[in-house]
């Protein structure tokens, strides 16, 4: 690997559940020589990409990343782009579109555009987290998430929302595998009995899911023609949105 690739491997170790790491921990997690790790993290710290706590010698993400993130949002605003893309999705499908992001172990809605074409439309509560096991967005997200993270997210008892909710790990795993094979997930009445959701994962630069984009349709008007339109549009939109998060 190049020096840049190795530096990115180091940065990839940091997460919400693991915000601080010592040099020895980084060396152990990457199975690298400790002296080489110290050289990489010293270089990252010199540029402000990492900072070190003088009390316990642990490292955490530095201010340079904040500056770059702010610059990214000013020059290529994700929120504005997201709403624009969701509006396009509504225009194509005639149905409500929404996007979600995984935050602190919950799949939260970060963008929502309701259809104005239909008199009857699905209501999506942006304040209510989407269940990983019972929503199209959740299954789509899990399909591009490492197995150990999936285990964490599904560790608690799976809540039954409707008679169609999958409540066994075997059922959920089968849905995840189908979504991985197909590139999208379809949830038929598993979260709300009268709603069908079609979703595809939004992935970041490392190919792992950061969220999902979905279209929600009342069961009563979900026919084969609409299904084909929605699936194609959602998968294409997921690809576009993934580019906003650095995916190639």
**211 & 155 share domain:** yes
Same domain, 83 and 62: no
Number of domain units in the chain: 2
The pLDDT, as a whole number, for residue 211 is: 95
- 170 shares its domain with 196: yes
Domain's final residue, options 23, 39, 68: 68
- DSSP annotation of 190 reads S
Domain range for 161: 77-244
Q: Which residues of 93-129 are buried (b: 16+ CB within 10 A; e: fewer)?
A: bbbbbbbbbbeeeebebbbbbbbeeeeebbebeeeeb
Helix/strand/coil for 113: strand
Q: What is the pLDDT of residues 86-116, one digit of tens each?
A: 999 999 999 999 999 998 889 999 899 988 7
What are residue 102's phi and psi, to 5 degrees?
-85, 120
pLDDT for the residue numbered 248: 75
| Cβ atoms of residues 205 and 245 within 8 Å | yes
Same domain as 48, residue 160: no
Q: What is the pLDDT of residue 82?
A: 86
Residue that finishes a domain, picked among 68, 86, 101: 68
Q: In this predicted structure, what is the pLDDT of residue 77?
A: 60
Report the C-alpha gap between 14 and 30 in whole angstroms. 12
CATH number for 171: 3.30.450.40
Query: Residue 119: what pLDDT?
Result: 66
Map residue 202 onto helix, strand or coil.
strand
Nearest to 233 by CA among 141, 122, 109, 96: 96
> Do 53 and 86 belong to one domain?
no
Distance from C-alpha of 52 to C-alpha of 39, rounded to nearest angstrom: 14
Long-range contacts of 171-180 (CB under 8 A, 24+ apart): 172/133, 172/139, 172/142, 175/139, 176/139, 176/142, 176/143, 176/150, 177/143, 179/139, 179/140, 179/142, 179/143, 180/143, 180/144
pTM: 0.71
pLDDT for 133 equals 97
Q: What is the CATH number of the domain that holds 28?
A: 1.10.10.10
Q: Are residues 109 and 139 in the same domain?
A: yes
The alpha carbon torsion through 227, 120, 176, 228 (nearest 10 deg) reads 10
Model pLDDT, residue 124: 82
Instruction: Compute φ and ψ for 133, nearest 5 degrees.
Output: -85, -20
Q: Provide the pLDDT for residue 126.
A: 80
**Domain finish residue from 19, 42, 68:** 68
* Angstrom distance (rounded) from CA 117 to CA 119: 7
pLDDT at 52: 95
Same domain, 143 and 202: yes
For residue range 47-93, what is the model confidence (pLDDT) as tens digits?
Answer: 999 999 999 999 999 999 988 878 866 766 666 788 899 999 999 99
Q: Distance between CA atoms of 25 and 31, rounded to whole angstroms?
A: 10
Series of mean pLDDT values for 10-residue runs along the chain (248 residues): 84 87 94 92 94 95 89 69 91 94 90 80 83 97 96 95 96 98 97 95 93 94 95 96 84
């Amino acid at each position: 690997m190049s020096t840049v690739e190795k530096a990115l491997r180091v940065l990839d170790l940091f997460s919400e559940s693991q915000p601080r790491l010592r040099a020895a921990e980084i060396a152990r997690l990457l199975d690298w020589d400790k002296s080489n790790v110290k050289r990489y993290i010293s270089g990252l710290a010199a540029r402000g990409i990492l900072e070190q706590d003088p009390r316990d010698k642990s490292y955490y993400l530095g201010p340079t990343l904040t500056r770059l993130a702010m610059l990214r949002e000013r020059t290529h605003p994700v929120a504005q782009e997201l709403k624009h893309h969701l509006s396009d999705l509504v225009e194509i499908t005639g149905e409500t579109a929404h996007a979600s992001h995984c935050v602190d172990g919950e799949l939260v809605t970060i963008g929502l555009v309701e259809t104005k074409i239909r008199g009857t439309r699905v209501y999506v509560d942006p304040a209510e987290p989407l269940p990983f096991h019972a929503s199209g967005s959740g299954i789509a997200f899990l399909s591009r998430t490492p197995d150990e993270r999936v285990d964490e997210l599904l560790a608690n008892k799976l809540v039954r929302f409707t008679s169609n909710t999958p409540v066994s790990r075997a059922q959920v795993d089968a849905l995840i595998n189908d979504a991985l094979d197909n590139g999208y997930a379809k949830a038929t009445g598993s979260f709300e009995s009268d709603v069908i959701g079609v979703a595809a994962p939004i992935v970041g630069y490392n190919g792992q899911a950061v969220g999902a984009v979905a279209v929600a349709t009342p069961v009563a008007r979900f026919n084969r023609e609409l299904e084909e339109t929605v699936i194609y549009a959602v998968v294409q939109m997921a690809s576009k949105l993934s580019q906003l998060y650095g995916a190639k």
